[in-house]
Amino acid sequence: MEASPPVLDPRACLAPGRFVDSDHPAVGAYAAKALAAAGLGLRATERERAVAVFLAVRDGIRYDPYGISREPHDFLASTIAGSERNWCVPKAVLMSAACRSLAIPAALGFADVRNHLQSERLRERMGTDLFVYHGYSVVWIDGGWQKVSSAFNRELCERFGTKVLAWDGTGDALMHPYDERGERHMEYVHDRGWHTDLPLADMLATFEVVYPPTIVDGSVTDEAFDR
């Protein structure tokens, strides 16, 4: 996947949006808790604060590909901040909103990816190994944009034998193409660009074309993700 051009003005990525509601008290509290957990004080740099938020979202919310909703309320960062399990798009929304609440410009990026390590139950439900609108955050640090995926928590990566995605605020951190055994893991196949807020209507409309209606049925159980 070719890199998205830096077409977003960082100043436009500081204001709250409908879904990236960075001015909501719940988002501010989430960001403050992330900084406290990292032991950061008032003199922390933007990079240190952004990394603290990344770690909080990555490991504090377990990845759950079965939690897809059609309700706009479920995609608000202020709602996501109270969740224990969620999938890549809501986690990216929360990370970007938390960064904005700390005066760090952030937006959302999307791509279609092939996940070669999905469970058989998930593949059966989706009917494909193509994940459209995989969501990640783009964060402005030291005069440049960095692409960061907070989707997969550490415990899940260790269970599946995939590499834990780390980020130190000095470059992109997107999904690894290969797992710990050298087998194919994640393949970025189509870039859907960067957005200041979540294009929910377009995303759900694309889901209707690519996936069966049951994609939004959260009642499915899958031991690979339920442990």
**pTM, 2 dp:** 0.88
Joined tokens for residue 61: 């919310």
CB 211 within 8 A of CB 125: no
Q: Are strands 130-141 and 85-86 parallel, antiparallel or unpaired?
A: unpaired
Q: What number does CATH give the domain 10-226? A: 3.10.620
How many C-beta atoms lie closer than 10 Å to residue 114's C-beta? 16
Residue 55, amino acid: L
* pLDDT one-digit tens code per residue, 18-65: 999 999 999 999 999 999 999 998 789 999 999 999 999 999 999 988
CA dihedral 58, 83, 81, 154 (to 10 degrees): -10
* pLDDT one-digit tens code per residue, 85-119: 999 999 999 999 999 999 999 999 999 998 755 66
**Please, is 152 exposed, middle or buried when counting C-beta atoms within 10 Å of its C-beta (0-12, 13-18, 19+)?**
buried
Classify 15 in phi/psi space as left (phi over 0), alpha (psi -120 to 50) or beta.
beta
CB 176 within 8 A of CB 161: no
Confidence (pLDDT) at 20: 98
CB 30 within 8 A of CB 94: yes
**Cβ neighbours for 5, distance < 8 A, ≥ 6 positions apart:** none
| Cα–Cα nearest to 111, from 222, 23, 193, 5 | 193
Q: In the chain, where are the structural domains located? A: 10-226
Considering only 4-13, 100-109, 148-157, which range has the smallest mean pLDDT?
Answer: 4-13
Joined tokens for residue 227: 């442990």
